[in-house]
């Protein structure tokens, strides 16, 4: 009060601002509020004041929002021997148990659109969420209701419908061929790729590498697998009520 010529109320108000910003520490002296020095600010007072007085120095000073540039290469080594990545098939997933004994002698082909197949999967899984297609999505379907080995798993699914032709390869997944990589960015532990025709082994190989890396990085089990045209047909055939709309009649395409 003597130094600033402010009233006691004003001193307390300004002191509270400093205390809220952790520049000083509020204490009690008897029944009166008082403030004492913060050791950090006291130790670095000269440097802080020099930065305040020189905007040029402050601009160059590294902070959380303005970190110092890092030179050189940072190399991170993962030990794949510690990974627990497992490939699964339709016949391992409890949610599709009804399809286990259904023959897949045909490919799903053009019989159903990608959007209708997704809605059918949601009905089987019991997933009521909405999943709209947009450029930044990492998964066409994300759910925590898929059951594998008697337990619920967080699952991310990439769907490729009849608009894609021929054998499915990584280059056909996404505009930049990076759909599988983006799929593994989802907060999931089970990753699936579904396609209405044949899926090339290169898709499985890429998923395997990403599953190993994710399992090693997060130190947790990761499962991955594909549902090709034959398995897709088995699902539709085993759960006809889920796909009662959207089915197309026509020639039975096998490739």
**Mean confidence (pLDDT) of the chain:** 88
pTM: 0.67
**Other Cβ atoms closer than 10 A to 17:** 10
- What is the pLDDT at residue 253? 45
CA dihedral 226, 229, 232, 234 (to 10 degrees): -120
pLDDT in tens, 167-180: 999 999 988 889 99
- CB–CB of 108/232 below 8 Å? yes
Between 17 and 199, whose confidence is greater?
199
* 223 neighbors 153 (Cβ within 8 angstroms): yes
**Per-residue confidence band for 254, with pLDDT thresholds at 50, 70 and 90:** very low
What would the mean pLDDT of 28-37 be, rounded to a whole number? 85
Between strands 190-195 and 222-227, the pairing is parallel
Number of residues that this document lists for the chain: 255
Residue 108 CA to residue 229 CA, distance in Å, equals 5
For residue 71, pLDDT over 70 is answered with no
Tokens of 126: 């019991």
Apex CA 110: angle with CA 106 and CA 112, to 5°? 100
Exposed/middle/buried for residue 237 (C-beta within 10 Å: 0-12, 13-18, 19+): middle
43 membership: H or E segment, kind and range: helix 39-43
Confidence at residue 82, expressed as pLDDT on a 0 to 100 scale: 79
């Amino acid at each position: 009060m003597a130094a600033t010529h402010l009233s006691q109320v004003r001193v307390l108000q300004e002191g509270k601002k400093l205390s809220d910003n952790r520049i000083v520490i509020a204490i009690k002296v008897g029944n009166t509020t008082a403030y004492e020095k913060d050791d950090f600010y006291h130790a670095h007072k000269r440097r802080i004041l020099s930065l305040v007085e020189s905007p040029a120095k402050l601009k160059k000073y590294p902070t959380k929002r303005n970190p110092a540039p890092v030179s050189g290469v940072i190399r991170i080594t993962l030990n794949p021997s510690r990974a627990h990545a497992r490939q699964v098939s339709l016949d391992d997933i409890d949610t599709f148990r009804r399809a286990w004994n259904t023959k897949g002698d045909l490919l799903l082909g053009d019989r159903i659109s990608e959007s209708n197949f997704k809605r059918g999967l949601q009905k089987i899984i019991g997933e009521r969420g909405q999943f709209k297609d947009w450029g930044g999505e990492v998964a066409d379907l994300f759910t925590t209701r898929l059951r594998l080995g008697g337990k619920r798993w967080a699952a991310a699914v990439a769907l490729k419908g009849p608009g894609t032709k021929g054998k499915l390869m990584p280059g056909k997944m996404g505009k930049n061929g990076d759909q599988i990589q983006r799929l593994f960015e989802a907060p999931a532990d089970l990753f699936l790729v579904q396609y209405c025709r044949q899926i090339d082994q290169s898709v499985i190989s890429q998923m395997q590498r990403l599953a190993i890396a994710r399992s090693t990085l997060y130190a947790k089990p990761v499962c991955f697998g594909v549902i090709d045209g034959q398995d897709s047909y088995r699902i539709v055939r085993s759960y006809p009520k889920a796909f009662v709309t959207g089915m197309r009649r026509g020639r039975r395409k096998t490739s």
